[in-house]
Amino acid sequence: MDDKQLDRYSRQILLPEIDIAGQEKLLRSRVLIIGAGGLGSPAALYMAGSGIGHILINDHDTVDISNLHRQILHRTSAIGHSKTTSAIKTLHELNPDIKITAISQKLDRDALQILLDEVDAVVDASDNFPTRYALNSACADRRKPLISGAVIKMEGQVSVFRHDLTGYPCFECLYSRHDHEASNLNCSDLGILAPVAGIIGSIMATETIKVLLSLNGTLAGRLLLLNAKNMIFRSVKLHKDPHCPVCSINPPIQDQNLGKLCH
Amino acid sequence: MKAKDRRLAELRSSITEVSPAEALELQQKGAALIDVRDTEEVVQGSPENAHRLGRSFLELRIEDAVPDLDKTLCVMCAGGVRSMFAAEALKRLGYKDVRSIAGGFSRWKNEGHPFETPTFLSSEDRERYARHLTITDVGEAGQLKLLDSKVLLIGAGGLGSPAAYYLAAAGIGNLGLVDHDIVDRSNLQRQILHTEARVGMPKVESAKIALEALNSSINITTYETHLDSSNVEDIFSNYDIIVDGTDNMATRYLINDACVKLGLPNVHGAVYRFEGQLTVFWPAYEKQGTGCYRCMFPEPPPPELSPSCAEAGVLGVMPGILGLLQAVETIKILLDIGEPLVGRQLHYDALTTQFTMLKTRKNPSCRYCGEGAEFPGYDDYAQVCASNA
Q: Which domains are present in chain B? A: 3-116 (3.40.250.10), 149-359 (3.40.50.720)
From residue B283, how far is each of B16, B172, B295, B341 by CA, in Å? Answer: 50, 24, 10, 13
- Closest chain A residue by Cα to residue B315: A12
For chains A and B, CB pairs below 8 A equal 218
Top mean pLDDT of B93-102, B289-298, B373-382 is at: B93-102
pTM: 0.87
Q: Which of helix, strand or coil describes residue B107?
A: helix
Q: Is B288 at the interface with chain A, CB within 8 A?
A: no
CA distance A205 to chain B (A): 7
- B317 to A93: CB separation less than 8 angstroms, yes or no: no
In a domain, A156, yes or no: yes
Task: Please tell me which residue, A193 or B304, carries the higher pLDDT value.
Answer: A193
pLDDT for residue B305 is more than 80? no
Residue B327: closest C-alpha in chain A: A195
- C-beta atoms of B317 and A46 within 8 A: yes
Averaged pLDDT of chain A = 91
**A-chain residues within 8 Å CB-CB of B313?**
11-16, 18
Q: Across residues B199-220, what is the average pLDDT?
A: 97
With a cut of 80, say whether residue B338 has pLDDT above it: yes
B335 in reach of chain A (CB within 8 A): no
Residues of chain B with Cβ-Cβ distance to A228 below 8 Å are: 328, 332, 338
At residue A190, the 3 state secondary structure works out as helix
B65: closest CA of chain A, how far (Å)? 19
Report the alpha-carbon distance of residue A149 to residue B278 in Å, rounded. 22
What is the interface pTM, i.e. ipTM, of the complex? 0.93
Name the residue in chain B with its Cα closest to that of A205: B317
Average pLDDT over residues B227-247: 95
Q: Answer whether residue A258 is part of any domain.
A: no
Tell me: pLDDT of B182 over 90: yes
Domain membership flag for residue A259: no
Q: What is the pLDDT of residue B386?
A: 41
Q: How far is B64 from chain A (nearest CA, A)?
A: 17
Per-residue pLDDT, B164: 98
Q: What is the mean pLDDT of chain B?
A: 93
- pLDDT attached to residue B333: 98
What are the CA-CA distances from residue B65 to residues A102, B106, B209 (Å)? 46, 24, 40
A258-262, B28-32, B240-244: segment of lowest average pLDDT: A258-262
The reply to whether residue A15 touches residue B315, judged by beta carbons under 8 angstroms, is: yes
Instruction: For residues B103 and B365, give the distance between their C-alpha atoms in angstroms, rounded to a whole number.
Output: 61
Which regions in chain A score pLDDT beneath 50?
255-263
pLDDT in tens, B93-110: 999 999 999 999 999 999
Give the pLDDT of residue A251: 58
CA distance B57 to chain A (A): 18
pLDDT at B218: 96
CB-based contacts of B201, cutoff 8 Å, min separation 6: B182, B183, B194
- Which pLDDT value is given to residue B97? 96
Bridge-based pairing of strands B266-272 and B275-281 is antiparallel
Is B309 designated active site?
yes
Q: From the candidates B292, B309, B366, B385, which is the catalytic residue?
A: B309
| Residue ranges making up the domain that contains A208 | 3-248
User: Between chains, do B170 and A66 touch, taking CB under 8 Å as contact?
Assistant: no
CB spacing of A199 vs B325 below 8 angstroms: yes
CB contact under 8 A, A69 and B216: no
Sheet holding B16-18, edge to edge: B16-18, B98-101, B73-76, B32-35, B51-52
Is the residue at A262 inside a domain?
no
Among A8, A11, A209, the residue with its CB nearest the CB of B314 is A11
In a domain, A254, yes or no: no
Q: Own/partner pairs for B235-238, CB < 8 Å, 24+ apart? A: B235/B152, B235/B176, B235/B178, B236/B152, B236/B262, B236/B264, B237/B262, B238/B150, B238/B152, B238/B176
CB-based contact A11 B167, cutoff 8 Å: no
Angle between helices B160-169 and A194-212 (to 10 degrees): 140
Of A187 and B91, which is predicted with more confidence? B91
pLDDT for residue B384? 53
The alpha-carbon gap from B140 to the nearest alpha carbon of chain A, in Å, equals: 13
Task: List the single residue in B192, B216, B315 with the smallest CB-CB distance to A45.
Answer: B192
8 Å CB contact between A68 and B215: yes
Tell me: pLDDT of B387 over 70.
no
A180: domain CATH number is 3.40.50.720
Has residue A260 been placed in a domain?
A: no
Q: Which of A54, A62, A97 is nearest to A78 (CA)?
A: A62
Nearest to B46, CA basis, from B57, B33, B59: B33
Instruction: Determine which of B126, B128, B134, B188 to mutate to test the interface with A (most A C-beta atoms within 10 Å).
Output: B188
Comparing alpha-carbon positions, the chain A residue that sits nearest to B352 is: A217
B51 near B33, Cβ under 8 Å? yes
Domain count, chain A: 1
The minimal CB distance from A191 to the residues B132, B167, B273 is found for B132
pLDDT of B380 reads 80
Contact check, Cβ <8 Å, B192/A192:
no
* Residue from A13, A46, A147, A208 to probe the interface with B (highest B Cβ count within 10 Å): A46
In three-state secondary structure terms, B315 is: coil
- Give chain A's length: 263
B135, B216, B321 ranked by CB distance to A193: nearest: B135
Cβ-based neighbour number of residue A99 at 10 Å:
12
